[in-house]
Amino acid sequence: MEHNLEYTISLLSHTPDTLNALLRNLPEEWTQRNEGENTWSSFDVVGHLVHGELTDWMPRARMILEHGESRTFEPFDRFAQERASKGKTLGQLLDEFESLRAEKLSELKALNLRSEDLAKRGRHPELGIVTLSQLLATWAVHDMTHLHQISRIMAHQYRHAVGPWSAYLGVLRCSSHGS
C-alpha cells in the first residue's frame, strides 16, 4: 500500500507499549544476551531506538521541510547507543523510549503535514534524494525491523533447547539480512 500518514502514526504509537509488554521484567537471560560476537542484545536494540528518536527521524523531517535537497542529513550513528546506554537499566531505556516517542509524535502531528509536504525532497548521505513520505514510512518499518530482530535474538537463546523442533521454527534460520 502507499504511504498513509495516519497509519504510520498509528503503528509508531504502538511500539513503546509493545516493547514494554515484551521485554520489561523478563529475566536478563532473555534481554541481555545477543547472537554472538558483534551482535546486539534486546537491551542494545532498545538503546538504538532511543538514539533514533533523538537524532534521526524528526530532525531529518525538519531538515527536509526547512532545507529541502540543499542540506544532507547527518549520518546516523548505529553504534551510539553503546555509549548512551552505559549504566542504564532496560527499564530506564524503555521509559526513555516511551517518552521520546510520545514527544516526537506530538511534534509530527503539530506539523499538520499535507500531501504536498509529504512529497518534499531531502538528501540522504548515501541514498541520495528521498522524500518526507519515504522517511516517515521508514520510521515505521524501522520499528518492525527491530521487533523482528528482537524476536530472533530471543529465539536464538533456545536454539538448542528446542531439539528436533528447530526444523519447524523459521526464526531460528533467519539471518540478520544485513540489517
Binding site for a copy of itself (CB under 8 A): 1-4, 6-7, 10-11, 14, 17-18, 20-23, 25-27, 29-30, 33, 124, 127-128, 130-131, 133-135, 137-138, 140-142, 144-145, 147-149, 151-152, 154-155, 157-158, 160-165, 167-174, 176-179
Closest by CA to 132, choosing from 77, 56, 71, 68, is 68
Q: How far apart are CA 105 and CA 111, in angstroms?
A: 10
Q: Select 87 or 164, whichever has its Cβ closest to a copy of itself.
A: 164
CB of 87 to a copy of itself, least distance (A): 25
Q: Select 92 or 145, whichever has its Cβ closest to a copy of itself.
A: 145
Q: Select 79 or 158, whichever has its Cβ closest to a copy of itself.
A: 158
- The CB density around residue 87, as the number of other CB atoms within 10 Å, is 6
Q: Select 85 or 149, whichever has its Cβ closest to a copy of itself.
A: 149
CB of 6 to a copy of itself, least distance (A): 7
CB of 111 to a copy of itself, least distance (A): 18
CB of 26 to a copy of itself, least distance (A): 6
Amino acid at the residue 63: M
CB of 133 to a copy of itself, least distance (A): 7
Tell me if 143 sits within 8 A of 15, measured CB to CB. yes
Question: Which of helix, strand or coil describes residue 166?
Answer: helix
Closest by CA to 98, choosing from 176, 81, 106, 135, is 106
Q: How far apart are CA 27 and CA 127, in angstroms?
A: 39
- The CB density around residue 66, as the number of other CB atoms within 10 Å, is 11
